[in-house]
């Protein structure tokens, strides 16, 4: 049964989190964030927004200069062991020994968490198989492709069967087919109860996978909530219209109340407010003697919101 009010228990609770790096750069300006247990959470933001810094602090790799982080109710500053046991982390940068074999990498990880080898073996096999790496288990990690290395990081992060999995750009450099496979894998984990937090620059990926999202910009959370509620705040949408005939200057003039942009390829771009109906566009195009050949959204909806909020 789905839990409703009161607010769902937080897997991760962040309050007034601040980070000033040694060189004086203020990367986090006091952020608050609640990541509900069981959610599939996207932390989005442009390059340098503070995503990896936030993840670094949650996972104990970066020291905060202010504020608190709780993981499953434990303060990360006072209970580092309890928090680490609950977290699986896939960092943005590859961070395994490249001369070690895949099997050594995942089994050693289990060792760090005090898991007996006999217990670790079936977990390693299950995850390496699911991530398509089983055949490579005795190869050195340096022989893997970029996408395989990223999947190895996921297999390693899951060795101690954490309740929360944090992935910093897990699909960067992963081809489309593998990415979809990875989505299915992450969905399966989430359905089994694992809270998943990911950062990605593929907004379509976030929109497809995640039920909650926070957008961070220059060290501040600019928007946070369910994916649905966020997308419903979008008050305009842009379309690309390909007409049968290339629009002439006078036809473009006839459309001027729509404030169209004629793109280099002859397509017409139009941005509609929430209050405007697409009927208005079809009518004006017809009056101008233009026939729609094809029509598409210029960007996906999350992308549009993201650009509005972070520009």
Ligand X SMILES: Nc1ncnc2c1ncn2[C@@H]1O[C@H](COP(=O)(O)OP(=O)(O)OP(=O)(O)O)[C@@H](O)[C@H]1O
Kindly state the smallest distance separating residue 77's Cβ from ligand X, in Å.
19
Only segment of 37-45, 51-59, 113-121, 281-289 that touches Mg ion (CB under 5 A):
51-59
Residue among 11 and 216 whose Cβ is closer to ligand X: 216
State yes or no: residue 277 binds ligand X (CB under 6 A).
no
Tokens of 265: 């390829």
Binding positions for Mg ion, 78-137, rule CB under 5 A: 92
Q: Name which position in 27, 31, 44, 241 contacts ligand X (CB under 6 A).
A: 27
Residue among 32 and 188 whose Cβ is closer to ligand X: 32
State yes or no: residue 52 binds ligand X (CB under 6 A).
yes
Residue among 14 and 128 whose Cβ is closer to ligand X: 14
Contact 160, 113 (CB under 8 A): yes
State yes or no: residue 138 binds ligand X (CB under 6 A).
no
- Phi, psi for 111 (deg, rounded to 5): -60, -45
Kindly state the smallest distance separating residue 93's Cβ from ligand X, in Å.
10
Q: Which residues contact 283 (CB under 8 A, 6 or more apart)?
A: none
Binding positions for ligand X, 71-110, rule CB under 6 A: 92
Query: 10 Å Cβ neighbour count for 201?
Result: 15
For 5-128, list the strands marked E by DSSP: 10-20, 26-36, 40-44, 66-71, 74-75, 87-90
Tokens of 47: 């390059």
Kindly state the smallest distance separating residue 149's Cβ from Mg ion, in Å.
17
Kindly state the smallest distance separating residue 207's Cβ from ligand X, in Å.
18
Largest CA distance in the chain: 77
Residues in the chain: 311
**What is the C-alpha separation between 140 and 38, in angstroms, rounded?**
35
Tell me 250's DSSP state. H
Contact 217, 45 (CB under 8 A): yes
Residue among 74 and 202 whose Cβ is closer to Mg ion: 202
State yes or no: residue 49 binds ligand X (CB under 6 A).
yes
Q: Name which position in 14, 41, 51, 149 contacts ligand X (CB under 6 A).
A: 51
Residue among 187 and 201 whose Cβ is closer to Mg ion: 201
Kindly state the smallest distance separating residue 302's Cβ from ligand X, in Å.
16
- Residues in the interface with ligand X (CB under 6 A) total 13
- Shortest CA distance to 309 belongs to which of 227, 199, 221? 221
State yes or no: residue 45 binds ligand X (CB under 6 A).
yes
State yes or no: residue 47 binds ligand X (CB under 6 A).
yes
Counting DSSP H helices and E strands in the chain, the numbers are 11, 14
Residue among 31 and 290 whose Cβ is closer to ligand X: 31
State yes or no: residue 52 binds Mg ion (CB under 5 A).
yes
**What is the C-alpha separation between 184 and 130, in angstroms, rounded?**
10
- Phi, psi for 239 (deg, rounded to 5): -125, 150
Q: Name which position in 2, 5, 23, 177 contacts ligand X (CB under 6 A).
A: 23
Beta strand 236-243 with 220-226: parallel, antiparallel or unpaired?
unpaired
Only segment of 33-41, 45-53, 113-121, 245-253 that touches ligand X (CB under 6 A):
45-53
Contact residues for Mg ion (CB under 5 A)?
A: 51-52, 92
Contact residues for ligand X (CB under 6 A)?
A: 21, 23, 25, 27, 45, 47-53, 92
């Amino acid at each position: 049964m789905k839990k409703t009010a009161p607010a769902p228990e937080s897997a991760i609770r962040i309050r007034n989190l601040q980070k000033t790096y040694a060189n004086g750069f203020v990367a986090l300006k006091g952020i608050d964030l609640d990541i509900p247990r069981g959610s599939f959470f996207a932390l989005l933001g442009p390059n340098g927004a503070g995503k990896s810094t936030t993840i670094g602090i949650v996972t104990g790799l970066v020291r905060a200069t202010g504020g608190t982080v709780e993981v499953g109710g434990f303060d990360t500053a006072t209970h580092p062991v309890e928090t680490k046991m609950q977290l699986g982390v896939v960092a943005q940068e590859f961070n395994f020994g490249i001369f070690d074999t895949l099997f050594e990498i995942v089994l050693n990880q289990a060792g760090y968490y005090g898991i007996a080898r006999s217990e670790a073996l079936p977990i390693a096999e299950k995850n390496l198989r699911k991530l398509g790496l089983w055949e490579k288990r005795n190869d050195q990690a340096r022989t893997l492709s970029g996408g395989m290395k990223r999947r190895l990081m996921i297999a390693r992060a899951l060795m101690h069967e954490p309740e929360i999995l944090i992935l910093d750009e897990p699909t960067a450099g992963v081809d489309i087919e593998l990415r979809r496979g990875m989505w299915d894998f992450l969905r399966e984990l989430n359905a089994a109860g694992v809270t998943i937090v990911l950062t990605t620059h593929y907004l379509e990926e976030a929109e497809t996978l995640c039920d909650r999202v926070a957008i961070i910009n220059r060290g501040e959370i600019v928007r946070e909530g369910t994916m649905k509620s966020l997308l419903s705040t979008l008050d305009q949408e842009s379309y690309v219209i390909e007409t049968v005939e290339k629009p002439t200057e006078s036809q473009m003039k006839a459309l001027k109340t729509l404030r169209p942009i004629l793109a280099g390829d002859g397509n017409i771009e139009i941005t509609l407010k929430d209050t405007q109906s697409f009927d208005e566009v079809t009518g004006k195009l017809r009056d101008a003697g233009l026939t729609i050949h094809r029509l598409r959204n210029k960007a996906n909806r999350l992308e549009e919101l993201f650009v509005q909020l972070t520009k």
